[in-house]
Chain A
Amino acid sequence: MKKNKTIRILIIDDEAEFAQTLCTRLQLRDYKSQIAISGHDGLDLLEKESFDVVILDLRMPDIDGIETLTIIKNKYPHTEVIILTGHASFKTGQQGMQGGAFDYLMKPVDLNILLEKIHDAYSKSHLND
């Protein structure tokens, strides 16, 4: 689990309960995880700290996921974004992948699968290290 500690994860999801629970579970597994319950909050946090992986919801009240993704990928190209949404569709899937997301997952997701993706994403973000 030593490796887990180095992975910094930001969960951006307006479903606070979901975000909080997931965050706790990740922390239990020694990940450095934080939550933001809106796109703005998430971007603010990214300004202050750097994250390896962002788990991003699509439907959010202020700025939606696709827009947030675009901003993140522009500002922090090394931060990998995994889209995790309950409102999955081909269209948003396509937009997400074209926007540079690492992967696109649908809620509810098995934590082990998510962790696998997080590790893959982390590996990708540190490919050049």
Chain B
Amino acid sequence: MNSIFTRVFSPSSQEKDLKRNYHELYKVLIGTMLFLTLIPVLITAFFSYQNYKNLLQVSEKAQLQSRLEGSTRVLTAMMDNILSVIDLLATENTYHAIKTEEGIANISKLIKKEYRYITDIGVINNLGVQQAYSGDYPLLGESYFGDNWFSNVLAKGLYISPVYLGHRNTPHFTIAVATNDKKTKSSWILRATINASNLKALLATIKTDASEDIFLVDNNNILQTSSVFFGPTFSIYTPENINKIQNKSYILATAKVPHTPWTLVMVEKNYFAEENWNNFTKTLICIFASCFIGSTIIAVLLAQAIVRRIQKTDALQVQLLQEAEHTDRLVSMGRLAAGVGHEINNPLAIINQKNGLAEDLLLLSDDFTYKQDILTILQSINNNVDRCKAITHRLLGFARRGDNKVEPVDVNYVIQEVLSFLENAIMYKKIDIQLSLELQNAKIMCNQTQLQQVFLNIINNSIDAVNPHDCIKIFSHIQAKVIDITIQDNGIGMSSEHITHLFEPFFTTKETGKGTGLGLSITYGLVKKMEGDIKVESEVGHGTTITITFPLYNN
């Protein structure tokens, strides 16, 4: 049940404003909490992402580089081997022995047995004419004079050429050794060629599982073998292309192959495409998502709790304020009423005396026509003065001499006494009075007559409110240092509008002349004077419950 004040004061526009503020406060709280919790999470996630990315990048790069170096070593060793074998053959055999068909066939057989990538082998004299040839192309007698490789091998003695098309019109490269004939003292050249396709096959053998692409470029950035990403042999390998590849989740590493004109290029899928990275990003997203959900739930719950707490405090504050205002209003009205009472008493006393004097004089005078009528009129004036007097005297709560003694009074005794006063009315309406009183230590410090007046007013009102045969319950309850006395009826009840004015002087719902509207106003004043409190709960058609609380007398 709500207290009188919560029922009385309907939500004002101020309360609606408060509600809107609560909603805003709620939003701000959630926002702030989410911001405070999620910003560190986001920062951590961002740095973890970046760090892990860098870490993976560095590690990937290092791994690729080490694999590339391994492959380069293999390739270098292979080229060195071929070169040294050719060098050995050129040194160990004479020009004349080797340039015969049989000689070249033997050497070719020998060399191809060991190095099956070698496409052909030939002997070239110092004029650049091919003297002997073992291979698939019709190159016997072909002149290489003026070719790049020819001048290079004559100048350097040992030479590995970049890939070129040459007379056979097929991409290939040359490994050649120039030697002086011991007899003629003139230079001759033993040359082996390897087709680019074979070179590609060779690279395939040193390719690792992780490699997406492996190819060779020469010093002029021309592709020596075909590449998955950069196109067929002789395509140009440009830095722009490299960037394009690197952005597309691949990484690339290069290493110069010693003793050759080549650079080995290896392309690998980078970490982005790898399971490791995917797992990491998934985990990161999961962690962030769960943080977000968790923070949101906590923020919402916390914000709700905080707003509820604030709302409760505010409501209490509003209630206290309203109670204080209400009490203050009642006190002022009481004072006002008392003032009015005082001011009216004096003129009323004059009317009273003048009226009395008129009566006196009439009684002393002889009979005349209207004497009796005038006496009746004066009596009527007197009666009405008495009515006014009753009102002003009640308004002032005037108690006669000896009645203002304050002493410990047994509440139960006073209730019983009041009920005995009202016995006739109770019997007349056949009202069932149900008493449930706490008998022990039910004493309060007050003036007995005033306490009688309090209960008389309230019980009288209850009797007026109930129908015949209805029931009025009166029960008392002692708790801590106070006693609660509750008078409950199942009568006609009151609207909240009526409850608001209940304790105001001259407020009455009774027919004109049947009630002065002072009873409960005086009751309220008396209860407050006894340092007590009075609360009303009522519903139209369901009855009224009035609870009076007094501090207990403590001897």
Does B342 lie within 8 Å of A87, measured CB to CB? yes
A-to-B contact residues, CB < 8 Å:
15, 17-18, 21-22, 24-25, 28, 86-90, 93-94, 97, 103-104, 106-109, 111
Instruction: Please judge, given known A-B contacts A25-B356, A86-B342, whether A17 and B396 are in contact too, CB under 8 Å.
Output: no
A16 to chain B, nearest CB (A): 10
User: What are 8 contact pairs spanning A and B, CB under 8 A?
Assistant: A18-B346, A25-B356, A25-B360, A86-B348, A86-B349, A103-B401, A107-B348, A108-B353
Cβ of B385 within 8 Å of any chain A Cβ, yes or no, is yes
Instruction: Please judge, given known A-B contacts A24-B357, A25-B356, A25-B360, whether A88 and B398 are in contact too, CB under 8 Å.
Output: yes
Residues in A with CB closer than 8 Å to B357 are 21, 24-25, 28
- In the complex, what distance in Å separates the CA atom of A28 from the CA atom of B360? 8
Residues in A with CB closer than 8 Å to B353 are 18, 21-22, 25, 108, 111
Residues in B with CB closer than 8 Å to A17 are 350, 354
Residues in B with CB closer than 8 Å to A25 are 353, 356-357, 360
A66 to chain B, nearest CB (A): 15
- In the complex, what distance in Å separates the CA atom of A15 from the CA atom of B346? 8
- In the complex, what distance in Å separates the CA atom of A21 from the CA atom of B357? 7
Instruction: Please judge, given known A-B contacts A22-B353, A108-B352, whether A93 and B345 are in contact too, CB under 8 Å.
Output: no
- In the complex, what distance in Å separates the CA atom of A15 from the CA atom of B399? 24
Residues in A with CB closer than 8 Å to B345 are 86-88, 106-108
Does B396 lie within 8 Å of A89, measured CB to CB? yes
Cβ of B256 within 8 Å of any chain A Cβ, yes or no, is no
- In the complex, what distance in Å separates the CA atom of A89 from the CA atom of B356? 26
Residues in B with CB closer than 8 Å to A107 are 345-346, 348-349, 352
Does B349 lie within 8 Å of A18, measured CB to CB? yes
Does B404 lie within 8 Å of A94, measured CB to CB? yes
- In the complex, what distance in Å separates the CA atom of A15 from the CA atom of B360? 21
List 5 tightest A-B contacts by C-beta distance, closest first.
Answer: A86-B345, A107-B349, A108-B352, A21-B353, A108-B349
Does B346 lie within 8 Å of A90, measured CB to CB? no
Does A108 lie within 8 Å of B399, measured CB to CB? no
Please give the number of chain B residues whose Cβ is less than 8 angstroms from any Cβ of chain A in the complex.
26
- In the complex, what distance in Å separates the CA atom of A104 from the CA atom of B404? 13
**Please, what's the 1-or-0 string for B387-410, where 1 marks a CB less than 8 Å from any CB in chain A?**
001000100101111001000000
Nearest CB in chain A to that of B393: its residue: A106
Residues in B with CB closer than 8 Å to A103 are 401
B-to-A contact residues, CB < 8 Å:
342-346, 348-354, 356-357, 360-361, 364, 385, 389, 393, 396, 398-401, 404
- In the complex, what distance in Å separates the CA atom of A96 from the CA atom of B404? 13
Does B350 lie within 8 Å of A21, measured CB to CB? yes
- In the complex, what distance in Å separates the CA atom of A103 from the CA atom of B402? 10
Does B396 lie within 8 Å of A88, measured CB to CB? yes
Tell which of B343, B385, B396, B401 touches A108, judged by Cβ atoms closer than 8 Å. Answer: B385
Most B CB contacts (10 A, CB to CB) among A25, A90, A103, A107 go to A107
Does B396 lie within 8 Å of A106, measured CB to CB? yes
A112 to chain B, nearest CB (A): 10
B517 to chain A, nearest CB (A): 20
Tell which of A18, A28, A87, A90 touches B364, judged by Cβ atoms closer than 8 Å. Answer: A28
Residues in B with CB closer than 8 Å to A97 are 401
Does B356 lie within 8 Å of A15, measured CB to CB? no
Residues in B with CB closer than 8 Å to A87 are 342, 345
Most A CB contacts (10 A, CB to CB) among B353, B385, B396, B398 go to B353
- In the complex, what distance in Å separates the CA atom of A70 from the CA atom of B507? 41
Nearest CB in chain B to that of A29: its residue: B360
- In the complex, what distance in Å separates the CA atom of A88 from the CA atom of B394? 12
B492 to chain A, nearest CB (A): 35
Does B356 lie within 8 Å of A109, measured CB to CB? no
Nearest CB in chain A to that of B385: its residue: A108
Residues in A with CB closer than 8 Å to B389 are 108
Residues in B with CB closer than 8 Å to A21 are 350, 353-354, 356-357
Nearest CB in chain B to that of A89: its residue: B396
- In the complex, what distance in Å separates the CA atom of A22 from the CA atom of B351? 11
Tell which of B349, B385, B396 touches A15, judged by Cβ atoms closer than 8 Å. Answer: B349
- In the complex, what distance in Å separates the CA atom of A24 from the CA atom of B359? 12
Residues in A with CB closer than 8 Å to B352 are 107-109
Residues in A with CB closer than 8 Å to B350 are 15, 17-18, 21
Besides the contacts A87-B342, A107-B345, what 17 more A-B pairs have beta carbons closer than 8 Å? A15-B346, A18-B350, A18-B353, A21-B357, A25-B357, A28-B360, A86-B343, A87-B345, A88-B345, A88-B396, A89-B396, A106-B345, A106-B393, A107-B346, A107-B349, A107-B352, A108-B348
- In the complex, what distance in Å separates the CA atom of A3 from the CA atom of B360? 19
Residues in B with CB closer than 8 Å to A88 are 345, 396, 398
- In the complex, what distance in Å separates the CA atom of A18 from the CA atom of B385? 15
Does A90 lie within 8 Å of B399, measured CB to CB? yes
- In the complex, what distance in Å separates the CA atom of A20 from the CA atom of B333? 34
Nearest CB in chain B to that of A111: its residue: B356
Residues in A with CB closer than 8 Å to B360 are 25, 28
- In the complex, what distance in Å separates the CA atom of A21 from the CA atom of B345? 16
Nearest CB in chain B to that of A14: its residue: B346
Does B351 lie within 8 Å of A108, measured CB to CB? yes
Residues in A with CB closer than 8 Å to B361 are 28
Residues in B with CB closer than 8 Å to A90 are 399, 404
- In the complex, what distance in Å separates the CA atom of A46 from the CA atom of B344? 30
Residues in A with CB closer than 8 Å to B356 are 21, 25, 111
A116 to chain B, nearest CB (A): 14
Residues in A with CB closer than 8 Å to B346 are 15, 18, 86, 107
Residues in A with CB closer than 8 Å to B398 are 88-89, 106
A4 to chain B, nearest CB (A): 14
Nearest CB in chain B to that of A88: its residue: B398
Residues in B with CB closer than 8 Å to A111 are 353, 356
